[in-house]
Amino acid sequence: MATFVSVPLKKSTEVDLVKPLTKFISATYSAAEDQGEYVRAAEELNKLRKSAVGRPLDKHESSLEVLLRYYDQLCAIEPKFPFSENQLCLTFTWKDAFDKGSLFGGSVKLALASLGYEKSCVLFNIGALASQIAYEQNFDNDEGLKTAAKYYQLASGAFSYIKDTVLSALNREPTMDISPDAVGALSQIMLAQAQEVFFLKATSDKMKDAIIARLANQAADFYGDAFKQCQYKENLPKYFYFQEVLPVLAAKHCIMQANAEYHQSLLAKQQKKFGEEIGRLQHATELVKTVASRYDEYINVKDLSDKISRALTAAKKDNDFIYHDRVPDLKDLEAIGKAALVKSTVIKVPISQKFTDLFEKMVPLAVQHSMSAYNSRKAEIVNRLIGQMREATNLSNGVLASLNLPAAVEDLSGDSIPQSILEKSRAIIQQGGLQSIDQLIKDLPELLQRNREILDESVRILDEEEATDNELRNKFGQRWQRTASNDLYKPLRTEGGNLCKFLDQAVQADKVVKERYSTHRDMIALLCKPEAELNAAIPSANPAKTLQGSEVVSVLRALLANVNEVKMEREKLENDIKSAQCDMTSKFLTALAQDGAINEEAISVTELDNIYGGYTQKVQQSLKIQEEILGKIQNSHQEFSTMKQSNADANQREEMLKKLAAAHDSYVELSNNLREGTKVCTIHY
C-alpha cells in the first residue's frame, strides 16, 4: 500500500568557473596573498560544482550533502561577485528534469547567464534527491520512517522556496519543471507523503485510534490538494511525469480517507457507537473499492480492503444479533478531525551544518562599493588638507624668496655663497637636476596620448555595441529581452566621461608646468653648476659690516627658524594625515548584517569627522601661525633693508640670490607635480 513518489534530477552541462572568477580577482585585488587565496578558492568551487552536478549522484545522504554545500556556496558568493551580463558573465545550461526528449533525441533545456538560475536548479536537485533518499528508506522500521519524514519535508521546503523565488531570480520564463505551478505541486506532494509517513509511524507504534484517524485524515487532505494542483494547472498534465503521478495522488487521497474512517470506526466501537462504526466501515469499503477499480495498476489495497471487510462483517453480525443500533447516513456522521504533524522545511542558508565559505575573507560587493565611496571621500579630505598645507608652504617660500631670505642675513660678507643657496644647489643635484625634469616632461605626452587612444577605442566599442543592440531591438521587438545597452553600460560611460575630463585637465596642467619650467630653467641650470662656478656667477657686493651682530639680524634669524619649525611640523602632520586609518570594512559589514543595507554616506561622514576633525583644526592653526610669522618677517626685513648699505652691486647680488631661491622652490614643486602626474597616467594606462 505504501507507494511513494520521487522526483528525477535535472542535468547540467559543464561550466568553467575558474577562468572568469580569476580574471575578476586579478583585476580587483592587488595583494598577491589575497589573489592566490581567492584563486585557490575558485578552483575548489569548480571542483565542488563538478561533484554536485557534473556526475550521477547516489541516493545517499553524502551525495545530498555535496549539493547542500554547493548551494550554500552559491548563496555565499552571490553578494561578493558582480554576476551580470556586463560584468562577470557565467552562462549555466540545465535540462528539463521531466522531459524525455523527442524521437529525434532532442530535449528541453535553457541556458541563462544568471546565478539565480543556477541556484534554483541546484535547489530543485536538492528537493529531488531528498525525495529519492526518502523513497529508498525501509518503511517497516522506526529509523527508516523518521528519515523518510525528514527528507520529504526538506524536499517540500526546497520546492516551495523555488516557487516563491524563481521568477524574481530569472529575467525570462523558466523551463516547466521549475515553474511556480510545477514546483508548487511537487511541494504539496512531498508534504502529503511526509504526513503519510507519520501516519505509518503512529500505526506502527499502536497509538490511539483517535490520533491515527486525524493523521490519516490530514494526509488525505494534503493528497487532495496535491491532486487538484496537478489536475487543474494547464501545462502540468502534458508532462509524462505528472500523468503518472495523478492516479497515485487520487488513490492516496482515497486510501488515507479509508484509513481515517477505519480508525474512527474503532474509536466508535470503543465508545459503543456501533451504528457509527458500521457507517464508517461501509464508507471505507466504498473508498477502497474505488481505488481497486480505478487505480489497481498503481496501488495494491488488498490488505487494507481485507482488514476493513473483516471488521465490517464482524460489526454487522454483532449489531444484527446484539446491539440493533441504527446505522446513520454518511452525511450525518461527525467530521473526523485533522492533525498536521509536518511542515515544509524552511530553507535558511547555510542548509548544510558542515558548510565552510571558500571566500570567507572576501567582503560583499555592497561593502566593496561602500569602501570605494568612503575612500573617495577620504581622498578628497586628505588632498584638501595636504593641498592647503602645501599651498601655504609655497606661499611662505615665495615670500622669503622675494625678500632674499634667509640668504640676505647669511650674506653679510658679500663675497661667498650663502649657506641656504648651497643647500638648495646640492638638493637639486641629488634629485637629478635638469635631466630629471626634462625626462619627466618628455614622457608625459606619450602616456597621455596612450590613455587617450585607449579611452577613444573603448567609447567606440560601446557605441558600436549600442547601435547593434538598438538594431536588434527594433528587429525583434518584445522577443529581444536583453537589458538595453544604454542601461547596461551607463556606469562605464560615466567613468569614460570622467576620464576624458581628467585627460583634458592634465593637458592644461602640462602647459602650465612647461611655462613655469621655462621661466626658471636658467637659474635651475646655474644651481646645478659646481660651487666655484656658482659663486663666480653671483655678483659680489661690499660687506655690510654695520649689520653684523645687529639686533634686527638676530630677530630675522629667529623668525626664519620659526618658519622652518612650522614647515617641519607641517611635514609630520602631512605624514600623519596620510597614514590615518580606520577599519571601515568591519563597520560596513556590521551595518549590512544589522540593517540589510549600508547607509554609506552617514557612516563615512561620521567616521571621517572623527578621524580628520582634529587634523583640520591643526592645519588651520598652522596656517594662522605662519601668517603671523610672515607678517613679523616682512616688518623686520623692511627695517633690515633700511639699515643695509645700498649700492648697485648689492642690489644685483640680492636679485640673483632671489632668483636662485625661487628657482629651487619651483624645481621642487615641478618635480613633485610631474612625478605624481606620471604615476596617475601610468595607473590609468
Report H helices in 414-432.
Answer: 419-430
pLDDT higher at 238 or 252: 252
Work out the number of other CB atoms within 10 angstroms of the CB of residue 602: 10
- Give the contacts of 22 (CB within 8 A, at least 6 positions apart): 39, 42
- Give the contacts of 291 (CB within 8 A, at least 6 positions apart): 251, 254, 255, 258, 299, 301
Domains and CATH numbers, the chain: 18-99+108-332 (1.25.40.280)
**8 A C-beta contact, residue 226 and residue 270:** no
Q: What integer pLDDT is reported at residue 48 of this predicted model?
A: 96
What is the DSSP annotation of 9-66?
A: PP-B-----HHHHHHHHHHH---HHHHHHHHHHHHHHHHHHHHHHSS---SSHHHHHH
User: Is the pLDDT score of 649 beyond 60?
Assistant: no
Q: What integer pLDDT is reported at residue 488 of this predicted model?
A: 62
User: Is the pLDDT score of 191 beyond 60?
Assistant: yes
Rg of the chain over all Cα atoms, to the nearest angstrom: 43
pLDDT higher at 60 or 417: 60
**8 A C-beta contact, residue 598 and residue 366:** yes
- Give the contacts of 281 (CB within 8 A, at least 6 positions apart): 261, 262, 265, 308, 311, 312, 315
Give the CA angle between residues 468, 472, 475 to the nearest 5°: 140
CA 284 from chain centre, in angstroms, equals 58
Q: What integer pLDDT is reported at residue 546 of this predicted model?
A: 47
Residue whose C-alpha is closest to residue 660's, from 441, 418, 435, 437: 418
Predicted confidence (pLDDT) per residue in 576-609, tens digit: 998 888 888 888 888 887 887 889 889 999 999 9
User: Three cell numbers at 490?
Assistant: 551607463
Q: What integer pLDDT is reported at residue 683 of this predicted model?
A: 46
pTM score above 0.85? no
**8 A C-beta contact, residue 650 and residue 644:** yes
Predicted confidence (pLDDT) per residue in 268-320, tens digit: 999 999 999 999 999 999 999 999 999 988 888 999 999 999 999 999 999 99
Q: Which helix (H) or strand (E) holds 454?
A: helix 433-476
User: Three cell numbers at 340?
Assistant: 498536521
Q: What integer pLDDT is reported at residue 296 of this predicted model?
A: 86
User: Three cell numbers at 279?
Assistant: 457507517
Predicted confidence (pLDDT) per residue in 511-538, tens digit: 777 777 788 888 888 778 887 777 767 7
Residue whose C-alpha is closest to residue 681's, from 434, 414, 451: 451
Residue whose C-alpha is closest to residue 159's, from 115, 197, 121, 194: 121
Q: How high does pLDDT run on average in the chain? A: 85
User: Three cell numbers at 134?
Assistant: 526518502
